[in-house]
Structure 1
Amino acid sequence: MKIVLLGLESSGKTTLLKGLLQKKFPTQGSNVKGSTSTILEVNENQTRYMDTPGIRIGSELVSSQYTRKKIKSADQYWFIVRGTHFKEEIEVLTEVFPFEDKPIAIIVSFEDKMDQESLNELNDFKEKNKFPLFIMDTRRVDSRVGDKIRELARSVTFAESVEINNLRIKKIKDLKSLFQVRILGPYVALITLLVIYSLPIFLAYQFSKRVEGIVESTIVNSLIRWSGGAPETLKTVLFGDFGILSLGFYSFIWAFPVVILFGLAIAITEESGLKDQITDALDPLMRKVGLTGQDLVPIINGFGCNVVAIQSSRSCNICTRKNCISVISFGSACSYQLGASLSVFGASGHIFLIIPYIFILILISLIHGGIWNKKTLVPMFKKRETFLQWPSGQTLSYRLKPVLSQFLVQAMPIFLIICLVASLFDFLGWMEILKEFITPLLVVIGLSTDIAPAFVASLFRKDGILLLNEGSGIMAEQIAVGELFIAVFLCSTFTACLVTLVKIMKELSFKEAFLLAGKQMITSIISVILFSILLSLYN
């Protein structure tokens, strides 16, 4: 049997599915708008569940078109509706997916936030019509509930559909917060956002700074002494300027804490409903650069992983999606990029550069999106009025596991391969040829050819920026402060990493990916040239 879960954004579809299944499944559900960006199919015994992207009131999303094509073969539709917003959500669902088409069940979520009068109204309707309606808190669901819903799901008549829409269910609003204040709200949301995502960087730096010296003195130096009699090739590959172990330790020590802490910050803001309220509040500011508040969700997700963020841009409006992807590609510094940048700035002794780096990165990415997509027609944005609630420790742990797995299984091995290739290039003397090839571009923007390896590596992976730590950080220490900032910015923004570019090709087209990459290169080079001019004037 194939069952489809349908509902508006933040209705609790993924949370419900997570509770119904006895086994764990690889997804990152939350109550953030559009958190499910593609149809997830999960098998449980003889049942196949399909978790669909959320529908948004008054907007046509990329994901909505995809959903309608994929669910036609389903045996049952399960509609998940927030009890606090029952009337408006049920009207949208009956319009998009008529109840008469398939056997259905209606799951009413947020039971704990509904008033007693509305609960009585729903229960009376259920008993009178023997209707497959289930009222629950989807965060506390027993797996046995799924069997009962499957058994009672049935086709409904047109009269029943009309009666459902006419039920007198009171709309419950969350307590008014500072985010909802007309003029002050956007600025409170912006400050909150900056604080939330600055804290992981600060904590990661404090941890990495202390651990780096211990690891270098007790492990790296011991291994170097132990390998004294090893062949020169092996020593270069393992402990040279671009060595797998010498730079690999840098990557792990500096990137891993950022990855975990950023993953935790994103999970907390999503599971608590805080991100929903922030995106609602920031809509007026985002519209000035050709985006809506909803488009901020994938942009924020990009600070965890650009590839995941571009996939989640399916929750964007059709007319703003390209602009959103453009901003993600340019300015959403993934956790690996941030870890690498933090490491380079820390090794150089100028850790304070991380603050202007992030600020300028975000600012120019928004300007970049606004300039290249100034003709974008921005649709109206329907606020979701979500509730603030404490996230559960179990859910946070569940969301962090795939982040940890991705770093250890995918990110670290790829970076070590980059180190291996760079070491072999260095041993064979090809690194000098590479520098000569990149020299014309670096000369134009006034940078040293010594950054060429890091620049090339960053085209494949953004943590390739760590190659600026050549010689255990000696090169980073020798580069002037201004030039180091410009070098890191160039490596970060010249183009998206290769994996991200491939994802853009899949989501849009080769032509669109090529155009986005070209525009990004132009913005990056112009920005770097302006920085160089300002730096020369200052000096």
Structure 2
Amino acid sequence: MLSRHLRPTAARRSVALIGFESAGKSALFRGLTGNDTGEEANFRGSTVQARRAALGFDHELVDLPGLKSGDDSRTTREAVAELGAADKVVLVVRGTHSALELLLLLEAVPLGQRPAMLVLTFADKVSGSAHELERHYAGTLGIPVHAVDARTLAPDLKQRLLRSLEEAAPVRRQPACVVPPPGAAPADAPAPKAIGFDSPHLGAPLAGLAALLLFAVPVLLAYLLSTSLQPLLERFAIDPVKSGLAGLPPLLEAAAAGDYGVLTLGLYSFLWAFPVVLLLGISLALTEESGLKDRITDALDPWMRRIGLSGRDLIPVLSGFGCNVVAVFQSRACGSCTRKSCVSLIAFGSACSYQIGASLSIFGSAGRPWLFLPYIALLAGAGALHTRIWNRGAAGVPEPGYAPRTFLQRPGLRAVSWRVRAVVKQFALQAMPIFIGICAAAALLQWSGAMNMLSRWAAPLLGLLNLPAEAAGGVLFSILRKDGLLVLNQGEGRFIGEMSAGQTFVLVYLASTLTACLVTLWTVRRELGWAFAGSLAGKQAATSLATTAVLALLVARI
């Protein structure tokens, strides 16, 4: 697991950063190494795997996952276990909560006689003397101590921190070390600014509305952009391509410019999917970097507990709206009694960026973009019901341990731009090549007659749901990847445009929930085993077919 990433090289000594979530470890990692990973974020659980980078010529810095007090998550267990590989340890504690946090950290971390130093973060927010805190803890612990603002680490301070690593020493434990000196900031002040999400009565509804807007606004903007550009794309790209390739052999013409053509369907689908991926990536990055994402998940904790999850488990679920595979890895931060339930909700209800782009494309091609909002609402409701039904026998959700409220801050352009670049790169180098392969496979199946055969086989089932047999291709390719839905745009949207609003809605829901995509299922298999992955797929198919049948019946009566 993490051990193969953490073992230090023979030439360098390993220095591990250890602390609670939101302590500022990842920002400190970037400031010390100059490694612009872009992975540091102002929300809990942003590091689920260790990161490492060179620190000068003779040290290697390792950023371990954040700890959670009283937690048994995989990330917490591995962070503590793998600490044994480190030659030196940097304890990272929020200066604003130093007394409580340092006590809990020293109880949780087996330091032994390893040399250590202490870094007090959020020094700019300490209401008192940060230098007094430094002197107090240095005297009582017997190790180097520095108070810093990890987000803006000046070069001279960086050099002082590096020099202090050479002076690191075993911690001299004393009861006084957890008591701040007179005149310094108390353990619980200053508290991060309270906002509407923190209200005991209005917090959850406001957070639910914010979560909806987090996706609705970028999706609406993407729809308006794609709608305005579609006539230009058809006039200056798709139509000329079809005319220019009209004389090719039938197989090549079908593969390049047919209903499922790489150049025709590929261009059309890129127009609808890419703006969603880009704008949703910006929205998520801003929310994460500002600290709002953590406030939203905390506020929704009571609602999440009703389906057997906690507010913390909502972080991987929200991450799933970017990529389900990333979300499954993020679920390592969930407690052992809720992780499988969280993964189940991700697989069913977290519509990834590509699924969102594809479904919006289908609804837009049908001339009914307004179907997107009830579609997302249905995914959330059915996903919650699915999770509650299939995981009702799981152990109860533990009460949250030490989880301090995250400070709100202005998102940094550097971190936000990195996140957006990463999303665009993933879309261009991973998603689109796979979709182009799907287009080529679909064109081959159509040319060979296999698509017609598949449609005949699926006709009885689709007929029960009042769906045309020709829609079988979209259902099949959505199993491979969620953006496989885009093959329903065949004929530049003519096929989907001939269906009723109810049929379109039922078809998109069925195709997007029948199972998680194969890449996600493979990741679940690697993380939780074959048995759970197979069970998850079977349960999701059962829920999808049952709820689709009910939905089709309701649509037929309207």
TM-score class, shorter = over 0.9
For 1:18, what is the secondary structure of its paired residue? helix
Aligned partners of 1:31 and 1:273 also within 8 Å: yes
Task: Quote the residue 1:379 is aligned against.
Answer: 398
TM superposition shift of 1:149: 3.9
1:70 corresponds, among 60, 73, 82, to 82
Aligned positions of 1:360-439 closer than 5 A: 360-376=378-394, 377-382=396-401, 383-439=403-459
2:19 corresponds, among 7, 32, 44, to 7
Closer, same or farther in 2 for the Cα pair 1:129/1:488, shift >3 Å?
Answer: closer
Does 191-200 or 236-245 show the bigger shift?
191-200
Aligned positions of 1:69-108 closer than 5 A: 69-108=81-120
TM superposition shift of 1:219: 1.4
TM superposition shift of 1:127: 6.3
1:287 corresponds, among 291, 305, 314, to 305
Closer, same or farther in 2 for the Cα pair 1:128/1:527, shift >3 Å?
Answer: closer
1: CA distance, partners of 2:164 / 2:504: 60
Does 307-316 or 443-452 show the bigger shift?
443-452
Does residue 471 of structure 2 align to residue 471 of structure 1?
A: no
* Cα deviation digits, residues 158-184 of structure 1 (max 9, x gap): 34xx33223344122122221111111
1:215 corresponds, among 201, 216, 233, to 233
Task: Quote the residue 1:37 is aligned against.
Answer: 48
Closer, same or farther in 2 for the Cα pair 1:158/1:85, shift >3 Å?
Answer: closer
Does residue 155 of structure 2 align to residue 166 of structure 1?
A: no
TM superposition shift of 1:500: 0.1
State the TM-score, normalizing by the size of structure 2: 0.93
Aligned positions of 1:134-173 closer than 5 A: 134-142=146-154, 144-145=158-159, 147-159=162-174, 162-168=175-181, 169-170=185-186, 171-172=188-189, 173=191
Identity between Structure 1 and Structure 2 (%): 37
1:247 corresponds, among 250, 260, 265, to 265
TM superposition shift of 1:142: 4.2
For 1:134, what is the secondary structure of its paired residue? strand
State the TM-score, normalizing by the size of structure 1: 0.96
2: CA distance, partners of 1:119 / 1:448: 72
Does 341-350 or 397-406 show the bigger shift?
397-406
* Cα deviation digits, residues 6-47 of structure 1 (max 9, x gap): 11111111111112223433x522021111112223344443
2: CA distance, partners of 1:110 / 1:535: 55
* Cα deviation digits, residues 102-138 of structure 1 (max 9, x gap): 1111111111110124652333443687631111111
Aligned partners of 1:310 and 1:503 also within 8 Å: yes
1: CA distance, partners of 2:41 / 2:245: 49
Does 489-498 or 88-97 show the bigger shift?
88-97
2: CA distance, partners of 1:174 / 1:22: 28
Aligned partners of 1:445 and 1:532 also within 8 Å: yes
Task: Quote the residue 2:482 is aligned against.
Answer: 462
1:298 corresponds, among 311, 316, 319, to 316
TM superposition shift of 1:446: 3.1
Does 127-136 or 78-87 show the bigger shift?
127-136
Task: Quote the residue 1:521 is aligned against.
Answer: 541
Does residue 519 of structure 2 align to residue 499 of structure 1?
A: yes
2: CA distance, partners of 1:454 / 1:47: 52
2:39 corresponds, among 6, 21, 28, to 28
Aligned positions of 1:281-360 closer than 5 A: 281-360=299-378
TM superposition shift of 1:248: 0.8
2: CA distance, partners of 1:149 / 1:214: 61
Does 346-355 or 216-225 show the bigger shift?
216-225
1: CA distance, partners of 2:350 / 2:271: 22
What one-letter code is carried by the residue in structure 1 that aligns with 2:499? I
Task: Quote the residue 1:480 is aligned against.
Answer: 500
* Cα deviation digits, residues 385-433 of structure 1 (max 9, x gap): 1111111111111221211111111000000000000001111111112
Where does the alignment leave 5 or more consecutive residues of structure 2 unmatched?
1-12
For 1:4, what is the secondary structure of its paired residue? strand
What one-letter code is carried by the residue in structure 1 that aligns with 2:50? I
What one-letter code is carried by the residue in structure 1 that aligns with 2:212? L
Where does the alignment leave 5 or more consecutive residues of structure 1 unmatched?
none
1: CA distance, partners of 2:443 / 2:347: 28
Aligned partners of 1:251 and 1:463 also within 8 Å: no
For 1:291, what is the secondary structure of its paired residue? coil
Aligned partners of 2:99 and 2:180 also within 8 Å: yes
Aligned partners of 1:11 and 1:31 also within 8 Å: no
2: CA distance, partners of 1:149 / 1:268: 35
2: CA distance, partners of 1:535 / 1:138: 55
TM superposition shift of 1:363: 1.0
1:231 corresponds, among 243, 249, 260, to 249
Aligned partners of 1:62 and 1:316 also within 8 Å: yes
TM superposition shift of 1:101: 3.6
Closer, same or farther in 2 for the Cα pair 1:90/1:483, shift >3 Å?
Answer: same
1:120 corresponds, among 108, 132, 137, to 132
2: CA distance, partners of 1:440 / 1:29: 51
2: CA distance, partners of 1:220 / 1:507: 42
For 2:341, what is the secondary structure of its paired residue? helix
Does 492-501 or 394-403 show the bigger shift?
394-403
* Cα deviation digits, residues 189-240 of structure 1 (max 9, x gap): 1111211221110111111111121111111212222223222222111110
1: CA distance, partners of 2:406 / 2:80: 26
2: CA distance, partners of 1:431 / 1:529: 24
For 2:91, what is the secondary structure of its paired residue? strand
2: CA distance, partners of 1:198 / 1:234: 40
* Cα deviation digits, residues 358-393 of structure 1 (max 9, x gap): 111111101111111123311112442111111111
For 1:243, what is the secondary structure of its paired residue? coil
Aligned partners of 1:100 and 1:158 also within 8 Å: no
TM superposition shift of 1:263: 1.2
1: CA distance, partners of 2:128 / 2:315: 34
What one-letter code is carried by the residue in structure 1 that aligns with 2:45? G
